[in-house]
Structure 1
Amino acid sequence: MPIEEGFPNQRLSVVPRRVVAEASSRPVTRRLMITDAGYYPNAADHLMRRQVGIEEAILILCAAGAGWANIGGARHRVEANAALVIPRGVPHAYGASDDNPWTIWWCHLRGADVAELTEAIGASESRPVVPIGRLDRAVALLDEIVTVLERDHSSVSLMGAAGAAWKLLTQIVVDRVMPAPGDPLQRAMAYLAERLDGTVRVADLASLVGISPSHLSALFRRATGGGVLAHHTALRMAQARNLLDTTDATVAAIARKVGYRDPFYFSRHFKRMHEASPTEYRNRVKG
């Protein structure tokens, strides 16, 4: 039998289905809406079985302890610093570990963008457990969702909860991709950011952070969508834009500051990226 209440100090908010139906046709909440949310601390004996799934996708963040989930004929362990994501309409069962019951924050998500957002975080029926890079940020956003819905279920509150949910899901993506302090990608990015006035060889940078050039390039492509040198160029151009906007330095001086010995080559490169020469960019009205 499902157990969904009765945990000491639990928090729980269920949006009435009439309100959900109305919000499903309104801007913003038709794209993303939280229909249910809660917090179950040390949820001993927590158990839920649904043989046909539900209308919403489910996100369960395990903040401490452990639990399990049966989805698609496979059993998955869910530990702290991980999220369980169950797509809409998928039969499932989940519950707390017998010897180390989980503490969870959870929400049910509905809307046109939910499938795309859950796909972006790498969750699927066959891979429903995803790591959480920054547990503190994820908990803070789920706490915000629960707090907003505890207050009331007005259209404004539903929109506020949707905004926090959007931030939660996209932050999970960012935290999974971006490097942790001290790892090779983070050290490589920091090195590039400190050396905007010169060129860097990929092989030298890879040797510096202790991995192969191909591995380093793959990490950069995953995190930024481009390679090592493309990232370095983007940093140099960002600094060039900042100097054009905030100083009276000549184009030649700015070119030198961002590692271009030839100001004409810098100007051509800048124009390819920005569809304006440095001088044209500086003279644009910005605001």
Structure 2
Amino acid sequence: MAELSDKEMVNFSPLMKRFTFNAFMVSGFTPISPGSRLDFFIHRPEGMKGYMLNLTLKGAGVIRHAKGEFHCVADEMLLFPPGVLHHYGRAKESPAWDHLWIYFIPRPYWIDWLHWDRTEGNIGRMQLTRSADSQQVANQFKDVIRWNAASEPLSEAMAMNTLERIILELFQRQPTSNHHNRDPRIQTVCHYLNEHLAEDVRIEDLARMTFLSSSRLTHIFRKEMGNTIFGWRESQRISRACDLLQQTQLSITQIARAVGYEDPLYFSRIFSQHRHLSPREYRKKFERIPLF
């Protein structure tokens, strides 16, 4: 199929033409710049009957939910489940918020794949860490849009097939949720560590929690997660620090302590090992988008 240009894809914004969401799937591309026709907030207090996937391509959006709000930035995926508040728009000081989206009613066997590890206000969040991953997902979104626009035989089936692939590949990126057969004791440990990221936790305490010996827990955890307990916790701490650097004005020292590092120099060194940027350099990538 011939590719659609960004200009052509704008026609698929639900705000640019009449759309019905009484279909199994609707998809589009919404580029927003200050003062443009599309530059206003969507507000659906009761959410929608289906799910909504959203991929930010450029700029930042602000997503409001029952307990607060957060900013989504380039290469970030969002998943809105049914019945969850939709209240979002371009972040006030961002020069743009260009995003691709797909609204869909899932096939019954998809439901188990629509659980993401990280949620905020019941909205799934996932940052695609490599530009190649983001480009691949964006191309798949565009394929869905193209098939939705086509009048060829089986075009709807092709669109649904592409969407299923997107859902599966995103689910595979969920380190905790994507293995239904994962040992529930390891899930308990992961959940506890995420809830107590800034605290000192001993393996002996985790072992007692799961009724395992320390050595047995260490062995099972590494087999299930592909990392040591403290190595996995460290990656979660760095991920949380990235959020704080993007979305708050906290100092590096405050962020370090918020994720469990008393020494900000040590935190900076660990952060750089994971992200190949210092915390300050990482924050500069987002400093053109004020957070308040």
Q: TM-score, normalised by structure 2?
A: 0.49
Q: TM-score, normalised by structure 1?
A: 0.50
Q: Which has the larger radius of gyration?
A: 1
